[in-house]
Amino acid sequence: MEYRRLGSSGMYVSEIAYGNWITHGSQVESEAAIKCVRTAYDLGVTTFDTADVYAGTKAESVLGRALKGIRRESYELFTKVYWPTGPGKNDRGLSRKHIIESCNASLKRLNTDHIDLYQMHRFDYETPLEESLSAFDDLIRSGKVHYIGFSEWNAEQISQALKIQDAKGYNRFVSSQPQYSALWRVIESEVVPLSKKEGIGQIVWSPMAQGVLTGKYLPGKKPPTGSRATDKKSGAGMISNWLREEVLTAVQNLAPIAKDADLTIGQLAIAWVLQNPNVSSAIMGATKPSQVKENVKASGVKLSTDQMKAIDKALGSLPNTDPSATKSPNPRA
């Protein structure tokens, strides 16, 4: 495992992070999830990402149990706030009330006294941005949070927040958590250049496009039994956007490129996002330890210019590069 600095901060993160968005608390049993976390840690993964909303708050609890007994200083713990975590009108969004209450609840579920990186899970159009930023700054000053970031914000929203942070003397964002893969490149034209300039690192999710970039979904054939595409609890709706014949055919064209690099197609997909120097870490998910062992092999891989060009040629015009595809809904609607 290799490690990179998170943006311009002094904290290092593992190139491969372990995320429990869909798996923990819903798709796999608690004991299996704990085995995956422990395997990841044993293989050098020190960065663990979750969110209060995952599995209706259960995912944080599972991760907290999985990390119990491990020296707290030896890993980086990330979580997020924004999506609804209860039925109340204030159980969502980025109001000061919800941010502080959600942070305290996350600390209890994660069985820790601090969060290494606390992230705004989307942009809140209802709450004054200064209110949200002030609450995040207070959490840092209280010692409950070490660093702050955001997920799925566009360049205009990032710039707006940084101006307020600088004007008010608030602690600055150090991270962005966007979807990013060889098929989903919407951050490249605006978010990445701004982030490089402002010292913000990318912690990318879905580097394998919900599993499509593993090559296991074949054109003209039904999805494998037990795969994400067949499990309505584990993102079948989202992955369906990629299960088009032209996409599946193009992904199979990556096989010889992967073989040339002595990688699986999935490892190639993770290695591809790590070639972007603004990416600090790529988040992987896993339902069994064997998947963890396979995915971490993408760390440290250096793809040649010819291999990167070959990937672009194989995928053709399929990747989405439109920056306007980064959107935040209204969590209170």
Task: Give a yes or no: residue 120 inside a domain.
Answer: yes
pLDDT at residue 161 greater than cutoff 60: yes
Instruction: Return mean pLDDT, the chain.
Output: 93
Choice between 87 and 33, residue whose per-residue pLDDT is larger: 87
Task: Give a yes or no: residue 51 inside a domain.
Answer: yes
Task: Give a yes or no: residue 213 inside a domain.
Answer: yes
Can you tell me the mean pLDDT for 277-289?
94
Q: What percent of the chain has pLDDT over 70?
A: 93
Domains in the chain, number: 1
Please pick, among 3, 12, 41, 54, the residue that the annotation labels catalytic.
54
pLDDT band at 332 (very low <50, low <70, confident <90, very high): confident
Task: Give a yes or no: residue 67 inside a domain.
Answer: yes
Range of the domain at 184: 3-325
Can you tell me the mean pLDDT for 148-157?
98
Can you tell me the mean pLDDT for 186-196?
98
Residue 262, C-beta contacts closer than 8 angstroms, at least 6 positions apart = none
**pLDDT tens digit string along 4-36?**
999 999 999 999 999 988 665 555 567 888 899
* The predicted structure's pLDDT at residue 265: 97
Can you tell me the mean pLDDT for 124-145?
98
Q: How far apart are CA 111 and CA 170, in angstroms?
A: 27
pLDDT at residue 224 greater than cutoff 70: no
CATH number of the structural domain spanning residue 301: 3.20.20.100
- H or E stretch covering 252: helix 245-252
Is 54 annotated in the active site?
yes
Q: How far apart are CA 245 and CA 137, in angstroms?
A: 47
Task: Give a yes or no: residue 332 inside a domain.
Answer: no
* The predicted structure's pLDDT at residue 310: 98
**DSSP per-residue string spanning 97-130:** HHHHHHHHHHHHHHT-S-EEEEEESS--SSS-HH
pTM: 0.93
Cβ pair 153, 327 in contact under 8 A: no
Task: Give a yes or no: residue 257 inside a domain.
Answer: yes
Task: Give a yes or no: residue 268 inside a domain.
Answer: yes
Task: Give a yes or no: residue 190 inside a domain.
Answer: yes
